[in-house]
Amino acid sequence: MIKIGEGDFLKLENIHVHFKIRRGLLKRLFIVRALEDINLWFGRSSVLVVVGESGCGKSTLGRVVAGLQSPTMGRIYYKGKPIDKLNKKEYLEYRKSIQLIHQDPYSALNPAKTVFDILYAPLKYWGIVKSKDEAIDKVLELLEAVKVTPPEEYIFRYPHQLSGGEKQRIALARALSVKPKFIVADEVISAIDVSLRIDLMNLMIDFWKKYGIGYLFITHELASARYFAELTNGLIAVMYLGEIVEAAPPSELIHNPLHPYTKALIAATPELILDLSKLKSTKELPLKKVDIPSAIREIPGCKFNTRCPYARDECFKIKPKLINVGKQHFVACHMVNAS
Amino acid sequence: MSLESLVEEKINQYSLPNGVVLRLEDLSVVYKMPRGFARVVDNVSLDIFEGKITGLVGESGSGKSMMAEAILRAVPRPGRIYGRVLFRSKKYGVVNLLSVPKKVLRDIRWREIAMVFQGAQNSFNPVIKIKDHFIDTAKAHGWDDREAVLEKASQLLELVKLEPDRVLDSYPHQLSGGMKQRVLIALSLLLDPYVLILDEPTSALDTISQKVIVDLLKDIHRKLGITMIFITHDLPLIAGLVDYVAIMYGFKIVEYLSIKELIENPLHPYTIGLIRSIPPLHGDLRMARPIPGSHPDPINPPKGCRFSPRCPLASNECFKKHPDMIKINDEHWVACYKWEKVKERDPWAD
């Protein structure tokens, strides 16, 4: 079990999500293992940053945490109580306290509604405001909080009148409107420019500092993952084909990666090194194959064995367990486990 | 009178210095909008060096894609292009791409200058196989020999590290995003162009696929020696690939410099801010900070230097007129009144 932070907020125990799909003329049944045996324990105000390629199950994990996807196996506990045992009031509190920001800000906002309408809807639903006048003040306050300024100028705009970064801030404001304790941020920075990402991350980190909001921050970009996790005392978890293969505090993960997949991700992450000879040298990616295998393919043993340059006999037969190697560093690899 | 000779009469008025394959002169792209005129590319002048890789870097909305599209006269309607784009064509000599007859332009596109458009992964025809994309493209440019086209396609797919037999027989949906992007690069090379323009070829891809594409382009450049223009918002991504970088801000090029100068001696406050705004993987996180403010609107841009409202060094002169490009040395040009001040002291220091 990977425990993040102090206290008991949300616990995922042994979570599996399998999708059944039918493919081809004969409609053969395939099983997509989107999540396999995920064990995570979030404390209060805890931050977990999840990195991985498309199709690794990181968005599915986000949906499970936000309560939008029920696991096909395993249990979720909210403040120590299994969520299927929560009474109605507790369940509503659980749903309200965890909010999700979607991947694509362009389709997450209704194009026919103004910023005010978008932010008013949750305020009204949860009974946070009594009247429209009160709502206007509240919406202005939210816009101010996410630094969309001057708020008066934005409140009656439509989504198409906003830039990508501004849309993302509105989505953040919507998540904040119900005063959540935890936000699942699914690839919120990938649709905006590299140079603007840090601005949005700083804003989210401020909410962690000020209001103690915890995050499940999902990204495919390791440098941003490190930035977010390091400034929030969080952990980074690396996912591969539905499994967590390594997890550690950011500086430990970047400077002392143990899983071959994490090493490949680090090697692939571009960095503006201020040294010309280092910049120009091309290092081969430490991968046997560059492409991720199809999600419907059954891979016995370690799932990374099709791309791992170090794969040995046992890697094709036995699935490695996620073990704690100390200092909050977890890894699932036979090579590491042996040594 | 043949087409070639017709063009020849017109072309001799232009010339280009050695080593320059493409020259933009006062290039502008203008849209008429209800609120006024939007100059989404504003008087850009730039030389693209032959056989080199140039990175065109800027925020979204800075005009970088428009500029590339203007080179091939492919600006979406009703945009209008002004200025000149001089190109050293192997067939026609030095021509102005903005004034050559349509037929000549069609002949130059893909054969001499090829372009991989943004989000092009979605530009495949979903109901035909990859091989038919190659065959159709060749046919559209007057190459009808099916066998020869497939032969060439196989070679190119191998060059982009794909299995030709498997990929040629696939439909687009059977390939991953990274594979589709590599197919497109192969397709763009089908008619042996010697200038390749790539507009955000990696933006929708994962880290590993991005790295694969960048390494591939490096490899193609080493093998074929073609000129490349790589448009992106991601400076670290291309730093190891390019020879030159053109930094675009507010619809203008604000700094143009070799990668060596970018690392050792960047002079525009925006360039320095851009470098600083990107969180490093290994380095000190405290150095990373955003550039305050936001990108200007094309209809009503700042009067003086486009960057002046956000620039920590801006003073009176900066608010009056946008600065001209100043040559610092043979591989470095900058449009800033304060470049000597920048040399003395970090403009973004507290």
pLDDT in tens, A195-211: 889 999 999 999 999 99
* Residues of A whose CB is below 8 A from B167: none
Closest to B236 (Cβ–Cβ): which among A270, A291, A292? A270
Q: Flag whether A296 is in a domain.
A: yes
Q: Which of A276, A151, A268 is nearest to B202 (CA)?
A: A268
d(CA B306, CA B254) in angstroms, rounded, equals 9
d(CA A28, CA B293) in angstroms, rounded, equals 55
Closest to A268 (Cβ–Cβ): which among B211, B279, B283? B211
Residue A229 pLDDT level (bands cut at 50, 70, 90): very high
Residue A236 pLDDT level (bands cut at 50, 70, 90): very high
Give the pLDDT of residue B343.
85
Q: Flag whether A89 is in a domain.
A: yes
Tokens of A293: 């295998």
Q: What is the DSSP string of B201-246?
A: TTTTS-HHHHHHHHHHHHHHHHHH--EEEEEES-HHHHHTT-SEEE
* Residues of A whose CB is below 8 A from B238: 270
A272 and B291 within 8 Å at the Cβ level: the answer is: no
In the predicted structure, residue A84 carries a pLDDT above the cut 70: yes
Neighbours of A20 (CB within 10 A): 9
Select the highest-mean-pLDDT range: A272-281, B126-135, B285-294.
Answer: B126-135
Pairing mode, strands B20-33 and B80-89? antiparallel
Q: Which of B234, B281, B280, B257 is nearest to B335 (CA)?
A: B257
Q: Which of B70, B95, B84 is nearest to B15 (CA)?
A: B95
Tell me the shortest Cα–Cα distance from B240 to chain A, in angstroms.
5
Average pLDDT of span B289-296: 88
B233 and A285 within 8 Å at the Cβ level: the answer is: no
Q: Flag whether A132 is in a domain.
A: no
Check if the beta carbon of residue B39 is closer than 8 Å to that of residue B29: yes
Q: Flag whether A118 is in a domain.
A: no
In the predicted structure, residue B50 carries a pLDDT above the cut 90: yes
Q: How does DSSP classify residue A247?
A: E
Counted domains in chain A: 1
Tell me the shortest Cα–Cα distance from B325 to chain A, in angstroms.
24
Closest to A272 (Cβ–Cβ): which among B176, B214, B239? B239
Residue B223 pLDDT level (bands cut at 50, 70, 90): very high
E strand or H helix that includes residue B6: helix B3-11
Residue A269 pLDDT level (bands cut at 50, 70, 90): very high
Give the pLDDT of residue A227.
96
* Residues of A whose CB is below 8 A from B177: 54
In the predicted structure, residue A175 carries a pLDDT above the cut 60: yes
Give the pLDDT of residue A195.
80
In the predicted structure, residue B341 carries a pLDDT above the cut 60: yes
Q: How far is CA A299 from CA A190, A261, A311, A318, B78, in A?
A: 30, 16, 13, 11, 53
In the predicted structure, residue B336 carries a pLDDT above the cut 90: yes
Interface residue of A49, A236, A290 to substitute, partner B, most B CBs within 10 Å: A290
* Helices of type H across chain A: 58-65, 88-97, 105-108, 115-125, 132-145, 151-154, 164-176, 194-211, 222-231, 250-255, 260-268, 276-280, 313-317, 334-338
Main-chain phi, psi angles of A312, to 5 degrees: -115, 180
Give the pLDDT of residue A193.
83
Q: Flag whether A146 is in a domain.
A: no
Q: Which of B162, B116, B154 is nearest to B135 (CA)?
A: B154
Interface residue of B62, B65, B207, B272 to substitute, partner A, most A CBs within 10 Å: B207
Check if the beta carbon of residue B336 is closer than 8 Å to that of residue B342: yes
Neighbours of A238 (CB within 10 A): 27
Give the pLDDT of residue B4.
62
In the predicted structure, residue B59 carries a pLDDT above the cut 80: yes
In the predicted structure, residue A254 carries a pLDDT above the cut 70: yes
d(CA A95, CA A101) in angstroms, rounded, equals 14
**Buried-state track A169-207, b at ≥16 Cβ within 10 A, e below 16:** bbbbbbbbbeebbbbbbbbbbbbbbbbbbbbbbbbbbeb
Q: Flag whether A129 is in a domain.
A: no
In the predicted structure, residue A337 carries a pLDDT above the cut 90: no
Average pLDDT of span B93-118: 92
In the predicted structure, residue B1 carries a pLDDT above the cut 70: no
Q: What is the dihedral of CA A264, A265, A268, A269, to 10 degrees?
A: -150
Instruction: Report the mean per-residue pLDDT for chain A.
Output: 91
Main-chain phi, psi angles of A144, to 5 degrees: -60, -40
Interface residue of A157, A168, A194 to substitute, partner B, most B CBs within 10 Å: A194
A54 and B177 within 8 Å at the Cβ level: the answer is: yes
Average pLDDT of span B44-60: 94
Interface residue of B263, B282, B297, B346 to substitute, partner A, most A CBs within 10 Å: B282
Strand, coil or helix: B350: coil
* Residues of B whose CB is below 8 A from A265: 207-208
Q: CA A274: distance to chain centroid?
A: 31
Give the pLDDT of residue A22.
86
Average pLDDT of span A123-141: 92
d(CA A45, CA A8) in angstroms, rounded, equals 10
Q: Which domain holds residue A182?
A: 2-112+158-338
Q: Flag whether A153 is in a domain.
A: no
Q: Which of A214, A272, A227, A247 is nearest to A331 (CA)?
A: A247
B240 and A291 within 8 Å at the Cβ level: the answer is: no
Average pLDDT of span B161-182: 90
* Helices of type H across B83-229: 102-108, 130-140, 146-159, 164-168, 177-188, 207-224
Q: How far is CA B255 from CA B39, B65, B157, B267, B327, in A?
A: 19, 17, 36, 8, 10
Tell me the shortest Cα–Cα distance from A154 to chain B, in angstroms.
15
Which CATH number does the domain housing residue A165 bear? 3.40.50.300
Interface residue of B208, B216, B219, B231 to substitute, partner A, most A CBs within 10 Å: B208
A197 and B279 within 8 Å at the Cβ level: the answer is: yes
Give the pLDDT of residue B182.
92
Tell me the shortest Cα–Cα distance from B212 to chain A, in angstroms.
7
B208 and A264 within 8 Å at the Cβ level: the answer is: yes
Share of chain B above pLDDT 70, in %: 96
Q: Which of B199, B59, B216, B189 is nearest to B123 (CA)?
A: B199
- Length of chain A (residues): 339
Q: Flag whether A268 is in a domain.
A: yes
In the predicted structure, residue A66 carries a pLDDT above the cut 70: yes
Closest to B234 (Cβ–Cβ): which among A194, A230, A275? A194
Main-chain phi, psi angles of A231, to 5 degrees: -85, -5
* Residues of B whose CB is below 8 A from A202: 290
Closest to A53 (Cβ–Cβ): which among B206, B235, B259? B206
Give the pLDDT of residue B145.
93
Average pLDDT of span A290-309: 88
Report the greatest alpha carbon distance in chain A: 68
* Residues of B whose CB is below 8 A from A270: 210-211, 214, 234, 236-240
B281 and A224 within 8 Å at the Cβ level: the answer is: no
Pairing mode, strands B244-249 and B53-57? parallel
* Residues of B whose CB is below 8 A from A163: 60-61, 294
* Residues of B whose CB is below 8 A from A227: 279, 285, 288
Tell me the shortest Cα–Cα distance from B54 to chain A, in angstroms.
15
Tell me the shortest Cα–Cα distance from B203 to chain A, in angstroms.
9
Please tell me which residue of chain B has the smallest CA distance to A230. Answer: B285
Average pLDDT of span A164-193: 91
* Residues of B whose CB is below 8 A from A287: 208
Q: What is the dihedral of CA A141, A146, A150, A154, to 10 degrees?
A: -90
Give the pLDDT of residue B250.
93
Closest to A269 (Cβ–Cβ): which among B212, B281, B291? B281
A223 and B240 within 8 Å at the Cβ level: the answer is: no
In the predicted structure, residue B141 carries a pLDDT above the cut 60: yes
Please tell me which residue of chain A has the smallest CA distance to B237. Answer: A270
Give the pLDDT of residue A213.
96
Instruction: Report the mean per-residue pLDDT for chain B.
Output: 91
* Residues of B whose CB is below 8 A from A283: none
Residue B60 pLDDT level (bands cut at 50, 70, 90): confident
Please tell me which residue of chain A has the smallest CA distance to B264. Answer: A274
